[in-house]
C-alpha cells in the first residue's frame, strides 16, 4: 500500500515537472499540482481562456486536472486541427463523455456510420418530413397551451421556460411520438440537464450524483418505446435508430440508454437559442420591428404562408438575427486528442509541436465570435451584423485577411452539426408562430437580459442564470400582417 502511494506521488511529481520544449506552445501549468487550472476553467472557461489569451496569445498549453490542453484561438489556423483525422482523434473524448454523462458505451459503432445514419434522417427528404411534423406539433402545442384561457387575458411566464418547453415538447413528439408522457419527459430532462456540466467534469457531489442517477434511470424508462417491451411497432425515427444500433452490435440495455443521448443531442440547443433570440428582439425594439416588418412583407407576397411558415422563403433579417444570436451565445468547445505527435502549422507560418496524449481545443466563442478585431463591439447585439442591404453579409476580416470562419456555432469540417438545417428551420418556425399568434411583451419594459450561466461555456448553447419574465396572450386574429 505504502509503495503504491509512493509510486503515485513520484508519477504526479514527474508529470508536474513537465517543461516547455523547443517549438512547443507557451506552457501554463497553474500553481496547484495535478489540478492546474481546473477550478478556474470549470467555473468560467470563457473568462479563464480570455485571460490566458491576453497573457500568451493565440496558442498556449494549460494543465487541467492532470491533462495538458493546447488551446488554439486563431480561426485562420483552425483547419489544421479540424482536417487532421490521423494525428487527432475525437472519438475517445466523445466516448468518455458519453460514459460519464449517460452511462453509455457505444464503442462498437463506427463514427462514420453513426453520422451517415443521422444524415439520412436530418438532411434531404428525411429533413422535410421531420420539419413538417415539427411545424404541426409547434402549432398544436401553442394553441392547446392557450386552451381554457380567456383570449384577452395575459399569462405570465419566464421566456426561457416558455421557449425550452415548447420547442422541446414539439421535438419530442416529432422524434419519439409519445404524447402520453411528453410533459413528464420534459420536466425530468430539465433536472438532468441542470446537472449535465457537473457530470461531464466529474464534479458532482454525492447528493447530486444520486439525483442524476435517479433522473437518468427515470428518463430511460420514460423513453423506452412500447415495442421494446413487446408492444406493437410503429414506423418511426426511434425505431429506425434502434435497428441501426442493433446492426452495429449494440446490446438491448445500451440501445435503451442511447435514446437519452439522442434526446439530448436533438433537443438541448434549440430551446435556449430561441430564448436568446426572442430576448434580444424584446430588448431591442428596432430589431423586433425589422423582423416583424419582414414577416408582414412575406405574408403580403404569399397568402399560403399561414400554413407554410417561412423556411422556404428568403428571410435575410431573421437569418441575420439568428446568426447574431448564435455568435453571442453558442459556446461549443471542439476537442481532439493528440494520438500521434504532430506539428501544427499556423496560418502566420509559425510551427508548434503537439505531444501525443495531450488534448487540442478550439473555442470559437472567444475567437472569431467575440474577437473585437473581427466584430466591432462584440459584446453588443446588432441585429443587422450579418446583413448587407438585403443579402447575407459573409465577408469579415482580421489583420486585413478575409476569414473562412467568422462565426462557428455549428462547428466545422467533418464533424459539423448534422442537425443544423433541422434546428434552423425549427427555430424560424417557432419565432414566426410566436410572433404571428401571440402578443408578447416583457413584464418590466426596462428589464435587461439575464446574465449567462458561466458553468455552461464549452457545452453548446449557453443558458441564462435566471430568466426574463414575459406576458403573452393569443392575438385576436392570427394573421401575420397584424403583427
Ligand atoms: C441551435 C441548435 C444547435 C447547435 C448550436 C448545434 C451545434 C453543434 C456543434 C457546434 C457541433 C460540433 C461539435 C464538435 O465538433 O465537437 C454539433 C454536432 C452535432 N450536432 Fe448539433 N447543434 C444544434 C442542434 C442540433 C440538432 C437539432 C441535432 C439533431 C439532429 C444536432 C445533431 C448533431 C450531431 C449528431 C452532431 C455530431 C456530428 C458528428 O460528430 O459528426 N444538433 N452540433
Domain ranges of the chain: 2-90+339-367
What is the reported pLDDT for 228? 56
If you measure from the C-alpha of residue 332 to the centroid of ligand 1, how many angstroms do you get, rounded to a whole number?
Answer: 10
pLDDT above 90 covers a percentage of the chain that reads: 81
Band (151; pLDDT cuts 50, 70, 90):
confident
Q: How many CA atoms lie within 13 A of 39 on its CB side?
A: 7
If you measure from the C-alpha of residue 225 to the centroid of ligand 1, how many angstroms do you get, rounded to a whole number?
Answer: 24
Tens digits of residue pLDDT in 333-381: 999 999 999 999 999 999 999 999 999 999 999 999 999 999 999 999 9
Upstream peptide bond of 368 is cis (omega within 30 degrees of 0)? yes
According to the per-residue pLDDT averaged within each range, which of 120-134, 143-157, 398-412 is highest?
398-412
The CB-based long-range contact list for 288-297 (8 Å cut-off, 24+ gap) reads 290/317, 290/321, 290/383, 290/384, 291/317, 291/318, 291/321, 291/383, 291/431, 291/435, 292/435, 292/483, 293/317, 294/318, 295/432, 295/435, 295/436, 295/480, 295/483, 296/480, 296/481, 296/483
If you measure from the C-alpha of residue 285 to the centroid of ligand 1, how many angstroms do you get, rounded to a whole number?
Answer: 31
Q: Over 60: is that where the pLDDT of 305 sits?
A: no
Annotated binding residue 106: yes
Tens digits of residue pLDDT in 407-442: 999 999 889 999 999 999 999 999 999 999 999 999
Q: How many CA atoms lie within 13 A of 205 on its CB side?
A: 2
Residue of 105 and 479 predicted with greater confidence: 105
Kindly state the helix (H) or strand (E) to which residue 62 belongs, with its residue range.
Answer: strand 59-64
Strand partners, 61: 27, 70
Order the strands of the 27-28 sheet from edge to edge. Answer: 27-28, 59-64, 67-72, 359-362, 334-338, 88-89
If you measure from the C-alpha of residue 417 to the centroid of ligand 1, how many angstroms do you get, rounded to a whole number?
Answer: 4
According to the per-residue pLDDT averaged within each range, which of 174-183, 301-310, 317-326 is highest?
317-326
Annotated binding residue 169: no
What is the reported pLDDT for 317? 97
CA-angle at 18, arms to 14 and 22, nearest 5°: 145
Query: Which of 264, 419, 456 is the pocket-test mutation for ligand 1 (most atoms within 8 Å of CB)?
Result: 419
Question: What average pLDDT score do residues 243-260 get?
Answer: 95
Neighbours of 316 (CB within 10 A): 17
Tens digits of residue pLDDT in 21-73: 889 999 999 999 999 999 999 999 999 999 999 999 999 999 999 999 999 99
What is the reported pLDDT for 146? 77
What is the reported pLDDT for 227? 57
Kindly state the helix (H) or strand (E) to which residue 411 belongs, with its residue range.
Answer: none
Q: Which atom in ligand 1 lies closest to the alpha carbon of residue 330?
A: 5
Please say whether the beta carbons of 328 and 284 come within 8 A: no
> Residue 211, Cα to own-chain centre: how many angstroms?
23
If you measure from the C-alpha of residue 420 to the centroid of ligand 1, how many angstroms do you get, rounded to a whole number?
Answer: 7
Residue nearest to atom 13 of ligand 1 (CA): 411
Question: Hunting for cell 434546428 — which residue is that?
Answer: 423
3-state SS class at 372: coil
Tens digits of residue pLDDT in 202-237: 999 999 999 999 999 999 999 997 655 555 555 678
Query: What does the alpha-carbon distance between residue 141 and residue 135 come to, in Å, rounded to a whole number?
Result: 10
Q: Over 90: is that where the pLDDT of 294 sits?
A: yes
Question: What average pLDDT score do residues 138-166 get?
Answer: 90
Regarding the beta carbon of 171 and ligand 1, being less than 6 Å apart is answered no
Give the contacts of 324 (CB within 8 A, at least 6 positions apart).
280, 381, 382, 383, 385, 386
Band (298; pLDDT cuts 50, 70, 90):
confident
Query: What does the alpha-carbon distance between residue 405 and residue 415 come to, in Å, rounded to a whole number?
Result: 15
Tens digits of residue pLDDT in 4-28: 665 666 655 555 678 998 899 999 9
What is the reported pLDDT for 389? 86
Query: What does the alpha-carbon distance between residue 107 and residue 98 come to, in Å, rounded to a whole number?
Result: 10
What is the reported pLDDT for 235? 60
pLDDT above 70 covers a percentage of the chain that reads: 90
Tens digits of residue pLDDT in 385-396: 999 988 999 999
User: What's the pTM value of the predicted model, to 2 decimals?
Assistant: 0.93
Regarding the beta carbon of 265 and ligand 1, being less than 6 Å apart is answered yes
Q: What secondary structure does DSSP assign to 159-176, as a single string?
A: HHHHHHHHHHHHHHHHHH
Annotated binding residue 269: yes
What is the reported pLDDT for 258? 97
**Angle at which helices 159-176 and 182-200 pack, to 10 degrees?**
110
Give the contacts of 439 (CB within 8 A, at least 6 positions apart).
472, 473, 474, 475
Query: What does the alpha-carbon distance between residue 29 and residue 284 come to, in Å, rounded to a whole number?
Result: 43
- Rg (alpha carbons) of the chain, rounded to whole number: 24
Average pLDDT, the chain: 92
Amino acid at each position: 500500500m505504502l509503495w503504491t502511494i509512493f509510486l503515485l506521488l513520484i508519477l504526479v511529481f514527474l508529470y508536474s515537472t513537465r517543461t516547455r520544449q523547443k517549438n512547443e506552445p507557451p506552457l501554463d501549468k497553474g500553481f496547484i499540482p495535478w489540478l492546474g487550472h481546473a477550478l478556474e476553467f470549470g467555473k468560467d472557461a470563457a473568462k479563464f481562456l480570455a485571460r490566458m489569451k491576453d497573457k500568451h496569445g493565440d496558442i498556449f498549453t494549460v494543465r487541467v486536472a492532470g491533462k495538458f490542453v493546447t488551446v488554439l484561438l486563431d480561426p485562420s489556423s483552425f483547419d489544421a486541427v479540424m482536417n487532421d483525422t490521423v494525428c487527432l482523434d475525437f472519438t475517445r473524448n466523445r466516448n468518455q463523455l458519453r460514459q460519464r454523462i449517460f452511462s453509455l458505451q457505444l464503442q462498437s459503432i463506427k463514427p462514420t456510420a453513426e453520422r451517415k445514419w443521422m444524415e439520412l434522417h436530418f438532411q434531404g427528404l428525411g429533413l422535410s418530413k421531420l420539419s413538417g411534423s415539427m411545424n404541426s406539433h409547434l402549432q398544436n402545442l401553442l394553441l392547446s397551451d392557450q386552451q381554457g384561457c380567456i383570449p384577452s387575458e395575459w399569462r405570465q411566464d419566464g421566456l426561457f421556460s416558455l421557449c425550452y418547453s415548447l420547442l422541446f415538447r414539439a421535438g419530442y413528439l416529432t422524434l419519439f411520438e409519445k404524447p402520453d408522457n411528453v410533459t413528464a419527459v420534459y420536466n425530468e430532462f430539465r433536472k438532468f440537464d441542470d446537472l449535465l456540466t457537473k457530470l461531464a467534469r466529474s464534479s458532482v457531489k454525492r447528493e447530486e450524483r444520486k439525483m442524476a442517477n435517479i433522473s437518468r434511470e427515470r428518463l430511460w424508462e420514460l423513453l423506452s418505446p412500447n415495442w421494446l417491451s413487446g408492444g406493437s411497432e410503429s414506423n418511426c425515427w426511434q425505431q429506425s435508430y434502434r435497428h441501426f444500433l442493433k446492426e452495429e452490435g449494440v446490446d438491448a440495455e445500451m440501445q435503451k440508454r442511447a435514446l437519452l443521448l439522442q434526446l439530448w443531442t436533438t433537443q438541448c440547443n434549440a430551446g435556449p437559442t430561441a430564448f436568446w433570440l426572442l430576448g434580444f428582439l424584446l430588448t431591442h425594439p428596432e430589431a423586433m420591428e425589422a423582423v416583424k416588418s419582414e414577416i408582414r412583407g412575406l405574408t403580403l407576397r404569399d397568402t399560403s404562408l399561414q400554413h407554410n411558415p417561412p423556411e422556404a422563403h428568403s428571410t435575410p433579417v431573421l437569418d441575420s438575427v439568428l446568426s447574431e444570436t448564435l455568435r453571442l451565445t453558442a459556446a461549443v468547445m471542439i476537442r481532439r486528442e493528440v494520438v500521434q505527435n504532430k506539428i501544427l502549422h499556423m496560418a502566420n507560418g509559425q510551427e508548434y509541436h503537439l505531444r501525443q496524449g495531450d488534448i487540442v481545443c478550439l473555442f470559437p466563442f472567444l475567437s472569431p465570435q467575440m474577437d473585437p478585431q473581427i466584430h466591432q463591439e462584440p459584446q453588443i447585439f446588432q441585429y443587422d451584423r450579418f446583413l448587407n442591404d438585403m443579402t447575407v453579409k459573409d465577408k469579415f476580416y482580421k489583420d486585413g485577411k478575409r476569414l473562412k470562419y467568422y462565426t462557428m456555432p455549428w462547428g466545422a469540417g467533418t464533424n459539423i452539426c448534422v442537425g443544423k438545417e433541422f434546428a434552423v428551420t425549427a427555430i424560424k418556425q417557432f419565432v414566426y408562430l410566436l410572433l404571428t399568434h401571440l402578443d408578447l411583451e416583457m413584464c418590466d419594459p426596462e428589464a435587461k437580459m439575464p446574465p449567462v450561466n458561466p458553468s455552461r461555456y464549452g457545452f453548446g448553447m449557453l443558458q441564462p442564470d435566471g430568466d426574463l419574465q414575459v406576458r403573452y396572450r393569443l392575438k385576436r386574429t392570427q394573421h401575420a400582417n397584424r403583427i
